[in-house]
Structures are given as C-alpha cells and as structure tokens.
Amino acid sequence: MADDVKKSYGAEQIQVLEGLEAVRKRPGMYIGTTDMEGLHHLVWEIVDNAIDEAMAGECSNIVVTLNSDGSCMVEDDGRGIPVDTHKKTGRSALETVLTVLHAGGKFGAEGGYKVSGGLHGVGVSVVNALSSKTVAEVRRNGKIYRQEYSRGKPVTELEEVGKTDETGTTITFIPDADMFPITEFDYETIKNRMRQQAYLTKGVSIKIVDKRFDKKYKFYFEGGIKSYIQHLNKNKESLGRIVYIDKDLPEGNVEIALQYTNSYQEHIFTFANNIHTVEGGMHLTGFKAALTRTINAYARKNSILKEKEANLTAEDVREGLTAIISVKLTDPQFEGQTKSKLGNAEMRTAVENVFNEQFSEFLNEHPNDAKLFISKCSLAARARIAAKAARETVIRKGVLEGMTLPGKLADCSSKDPSKTELYIVEGDSAGGSAKQGRDREFQAILPLRGKILNVEHSRMDRILSNNEIKSTVIALGVGIGETFNIEKLRYNRIVIMTDADVDGAHIRTLLLTLFYRYFKPLVEQGHIYIAQPPLYKLGQGKKTVYAYSDEEKEEALKEFKDVSKVNIQRYKGLGEMNPDQLWETTMNPETRSMLRVAVEDAERADQVFDTLMGTEVPPRKKFIQTHAKSVKNLDI
C-alpha cells in the first residue's frame, strides 16, 4: 500500500481499518459461514445494493458477470456511489462505503441516501474486506471514477479515468482464497437468487453472464410478484385469476399476489425488503387474519355460507392457495431464530387493513372468481371434517400406535434409534433376500407390495387407509399430521431400496413424495436415503466385480485379463441377488454407498415434486429426462 495513503488517515480511519480486520478475523460473524453459502453472500451484498437503487426508482439494469479470472462483476445503472468528500472520514464517500463497516448507504442527510431497503446488508465493505482484489468504478457527474482495493484497504487513490454521460456503479471483486475454502461461484445458485430478486423488483432487468462456461440468462418481470405466482403455479391447475395488490402506505409498501389452485397444499412466501422471511412475522399474521375474515364476510353476505353453517377456518381458506406477500419498509426488525421473522407490529395492521379492503373489493367485482375460491374453501372444510372423523377412527382403533407393528416388518434387535436402519424394500422376494442378508442387530426390513398411494392426489383420510403407507408410518413410529413427533423416530436411517427400473423409480418417487409432504423434518434432518444396488456383476473364474453404472462397468472390464471372456450379468431387480450378494453390495455399511436425500430449497423441491407427481404430464417427462441423475451423493 502506498505510504501517502496510509499517512493521510485520521484517527477515525485507523479505527475503520481495525473494523475490517475484525471481519477478516471472524468472517462468520458477518456472512454466516465461509462455505458456498458465505461465498455467495458476497454477491448478494453487492446486488442488494443495486436493487436498493432500483427500489428507489433510480436503476433499471443490473448485470452480474462471472469472469474466468475468478472475479465477480456487478454492474448497475443506478446513481453511482457518491465520490465527494465525506465529512466524518475525510475520504471520498466511495472509499468510505468500501472501507467503513456498516457505512453502506447510511449517510444521513448529507449523503442524501433515502434508505429504501438493504438494511439487512452487512455492507459493501465486508465484501471488500474478504476479497483479495476489489475494483470500484463509478459513473457520475459526467465522469468515470476508479479505485482499487485489496483485502479491505485502498491500493490506489480515487482516480478520474474518463468521461461518460451515464450513471452507475460497477464493483468487481475476487474472493480471498485465504478466507474461503472454495472460491468458485455457482451459476445456478446465482441464477435462482437473481430470478427471485427480479420477481420482487418489478421492472428491473437482471442479467447473469458466465464467461467461464459461456452461459447467460436474463430476468425481467413486468408483473413482479404476479409473474412469480404464475411461475409457482405453472404446473398446477389454477382456479380463477390472480389477485394482485400494490399499495403505498405511510408504514411502507405492501404488495400481495395470490391465486387458488385445485391442489391441497398451501404455499405462502413472505418477504420484507426483498428478504425471504422464512419464519413469517407480522405481515404474514395480518394477511392470514384478513384472508379468513374477508372470505367469510363475503360468503355470508352473499348467502354462499348458510346461516346455520359454521365459518370457514383459517386452514380451509388456505388450502390450494399460492400467495406472495412482499412488504418494503424503512426500519425492518428481523427477529426469530434465523433472524428471518418480521417483527414490525405496524405491518400487521397495515397488511391486514389493505388486504381486507382490496380483497373485498376484488370479490365484489369478480363474483365468478369469488364463487370458485369459496367452493374450493368449502370443499376443504368438508374434507377437513371427514378427514378428522377418519383420523379419529384410525387413532381410536390404535392402528397408528407403536404397539401394533406391521406383521411383515422384520424388526432389528437393537432398540437404540441412533444406530438402527429401516430398509423399505420393493416386493416380497427382494424383501426375503434382504431379511436373510441383513445384520439383524441394527437393520430392519419392511417389504412393500406393489405401488403405494400417490399422496399428492389424496387427503389424509385416504392416505391412512392405504395399507402400505400405514405399515410405513407405524414402522417409523413418528405418527402423522398433528400427532407427528420426530422424537419417536424408531430408526436413524430410512433407506429406500427399489429395483433399478422404471417401476422402481416410480415407487421411490412415491415414497419420497410421502416423506416430503408428510414427514418433511425427516428429509430436512437427513434421515432419508436411497440404496444403490449394483447394475452389473462381472465375473471370470474366481474374480467377481460389481459395477454401479455403465461407466463403472467399462472401467471394471479393464481389470480382467481376458476381456472377451468376462461373464456380465445385468441385474434387472433386487430379487436376482442372493442374500449374501445383497448384503455385500448394498447393505453392508463397510462397502455400500447410499444417496442421502436433501431438500436443497423448499420451493425448488416443491416444484420438483409437483412436476413429478402432479397431474400435468409434459413437464414431468421433461424433468425426468434432464435431471435423471442429479441427486446429492453421499458415501457412507
């Protein structure tokens, strides 16, 4: 670093340098982790700042470029970070933003930055601190300015490098390899986030360009969250049109879009200042209250609900609903375990009042849509009552109590759930082999006969009347619905073991759907696995090799002396393996490999399950063709 730069720092500035040192000492405090998530946090930080400019109505184009030199460049056509001297630090505003922790846009009156969002951010300075090189270019006042930094410290003065009639900011940074074990950005991760941000910021165009792999994508949604609803519902059958509300209030901006579908699930996504409030909060509470109230009021007024009929419950009016609630406010309070719950009480009343008023107006103006919505809700109410009765019968009969383990379950002898495994096996014959081949100390076997019910198309009462599902639920021990309790899980690992053919894949998907929809914590906490039986057995004389893929088979062939005389057996089903072989290849923890099922992202997983299990056929076909092998791998 140049001496003159160092010398000119005032007392305050020295403190500033210490500030960024703290970021390098404990990066986790600022960006959570230094794994892939933390690495991408750097990108979100810069993009969020550009989005703030867009929310202020000052920016309409953002380009994120991943360069071959490992850098990420974020370009926007906002106002450009100010370059005039900042009174407190004596340095330019640009340098202050890049080197002062939490300086961000909070300039107060003198900086003139109306803080519309971005308050969640840790600040551009954190990105700078964690980058081996940062270059900031600002287009402002008819000029182009440039300054370069390394690990949070300026290495050049702020220079004027040209003229322009445009405005905007370009930040290019290379994540510091001393800070991040992995420094390669992931195109898909960035693309997904950019899609979401583009939906949430109506009218902004966000482009992602990957120079490393020659890929690019552009997002632009004139309809904002209305387009988001269309996207979320694209594989579902919708009921009526999308309701859309966008209102500026003294408390902030409230934007709501919703649409009913004929599915049984509810999907409500909430955001505050473009941050996904996973734990909900005041805006969600206000929305839910208003939804129930408005629908009941309309149904009563128009005699769709008869006098003697009970009100629709909050659950009834949310069945099959896809909704997005996005609020923007000046001083968001994020609470909860993961700081993703909006705490501002004024937002509850703001959302509740606006939605009450505008949704009533919508229902009055669109009586046909109103009828569609309400008949869906009434259907949900009738089903709820029927399902409750069915469930009570089931529970009364003790069918789900641990006492009556299914007869076909071959349980293990260990009662320590942290060590045990349950193999759910397709078919009786494979079940037989598995029962003989297993280590009965810790491995239990549950054979399933034929197909299980597609839970996507059924409600709880029907689901519980399906014998295969009932056996599975009883074997798991955790109960279902309101009786679900993960503490009662009887096995640490639940392993789906099906044949390597289309039927096997179908059964696996049906089981995954069951787990995802009704036992989500089991998926989230990594209890669900997919067994990997071999596809081939190669033999010659006394030598036997198993291959788990076509590539492996080709590799394995090379190990034999006389390649033309190798006996290759292709396993069509688990049943073709004898118990010893099944143990050795698929069940022995010393030698097997399994896939752990991970839910990367609830929204994406949900789409996947909808695509695979929903009623619409074409998207399902496309998905299976393109993603057939992309399950997370974990060898155990």
Nearer residue to ligand 0RA within complex by CB, 49 or 471: 49
Nearer residue to ligand 0RA within complex by CB, 59 or 522: 59
3-state helix/strand/coil string of 380-411: HHHHHHHHHHHHHHHHHCCCCCCCCCCCCCEC
Least separation in angstroms between residue 14's CB and ligand 0RA is 23
Least separation in angstroms between residue 152's CB and ligand 0RA is 16
Does 50 sit near ligand 0RA (CB under 6 A)?
A: yes
Give the catalytic positions in this structure.
426, 499, 501, 503
Nearer residue to ligand 0RA within complex by CB, 120 or 231: 120
Least separation in angstroms between residue 51's CB and ligand 0RA is 9
Does 57 sit near ligand 0RA (CB under 6 A)?
A: no
DSSP assignment letter at 452: P
Contacts of 42 (CB under 8 A, 6+ apart): 31, 72, 126, 127, 130, 131, 173, 175
Report residue 46 as tokens. Answer: 């810069």
Least separation in angstroms between residue 171's CB and ligand 0RA is 6
Does 476 sit near ligand 0RA (CB under 6 A)?
A: no
Least separation in angstroms between residue 200's CB and ligand 0RA is 17
Angle of helix 345-365 versus helix 367-396 axis, rounded to 10: 120
Helix (H/G/I), strand (E/B), else coil: 52: helix
Per-residue binding letters, 2-41, with ligand 0RA (x by CB under 6 A): ----------------------------------------
Residue position matching structure tokens 């990367």: 600
Least separation in angstroms between residue 93's CB and ligand 0RA is 7
493-497 and 528-531 as β-strands: parallel, antiparallel, unpaired? parallel
Q: Stretches 74-82, 199-207, 212-220, 431-439: which one binds ligand 0RA (CB under 6 A)?
A: 74-82
Does 124 sit near ligand 0RA (CB under 6 A)?
A: yes
Does 225 sit near ligand 0RA (CB under 6 A)?
A: no
CA separation for the pair 619, 237 (Å, rounded): 13
Does 117 sit near ligand 0RA (CB under 6 A)?
A: no
For residues 169 and 33, the answer to whether their CB atoms sit within 8 Å is: no
Nearer residue to ligand 0RA within complex by CB, 185 or 287: 185
Does 53 sit near ligand 0RA (CB under 6 A)?
A: yes
267-272 and 321-328 as β-strands: parallel, antiparallel, unpaired? parallel
Site for ligand 0RA in 75-114 (CB under 6 A): 76, 78-79, 81-82, 97, 105, 107, 111-113
Per DSSP, helices labelled H in 167-317 are 187-200, 225-232, 282-301
Angle of helix 502-518 versus helix 602-613 axis, rounded to 10: 130
**Which residue's CB comes closest to ligand 0RA?**
49
Nearer residue to ligand 0RA within complex by CB, 55 or 291: 55
| Listed residue (171, 159, 192, 35) closest to 92, CA to CA | 159
Burial of 525 (0-12, 13-18, 19+ CB in 10 A): exposed
Q: Would residue 4 be called left, alpha or beta, if left means φ above 0 and alpha means ψ between -120 and 50 degrees?
A: alpha
Q: Stretches 47-55, 350-358, 444-452, 467-475: which one binds ligand 0RA (CB under 6 A)?
A: 47-55
Angle of helix 367-396 versus helix 282-301 axis, rounded to 10: 110
Least separation in angstroms between residue 134's CB and ligand 0RA is 12
Per-residue binding letters, 283-322, with ligand 0RA (x by CB under 6 A): ----------------------------------------
Does 134 sit near ligand 0RA (CB under 6 A)?
A: no
Least separation in angstroms between residue 73's CB and ligand 0RA is 12
Q: What angle do CA 34, 211, 189 make, to 5 degrees?
A: 40
Nearer residue to ligand 0RA within complex by CB, 31 or 46: 46
Q: How many residues bind ligand 0RA, per CB under 6 A?
A: 18
Nearer residue to ligand 0RA within complex by CB, 173 or 269: 173
528-531 and 594-596 as β-strands: parallel, antiparallel, unpaired? antiparallel
- Cα distances (Å, whole numbers) of residue 633 to 40, 94, 418, 421, 598: 22, 45, 22, 19, 9
Burial of 389 (0-12, 13-18, 19+ CB in 10 A): exposed
For residues 187 and 213, the answer to whether their CB atoms sit within 8 Å is: yes
DSSP assignment letter at 92: B
Nearer residue to ligand 0RA within complex by CB, 112 or 521: 112
Does 169 sit near ligand 0RA (CB under 6 A)?
A: yes
Nearer residue to ligand 0RA within complex by CB, 116 or 471: 116
Least separation in angstroms between residue 53's CB and ligand 0RA is 5
- List of residues contacting ligand 0RA (CB under 6 A): 46, 49-50, 53, 76, 78-79, 81-82, 97, 105, 107, 111-113, 124, 169, 171
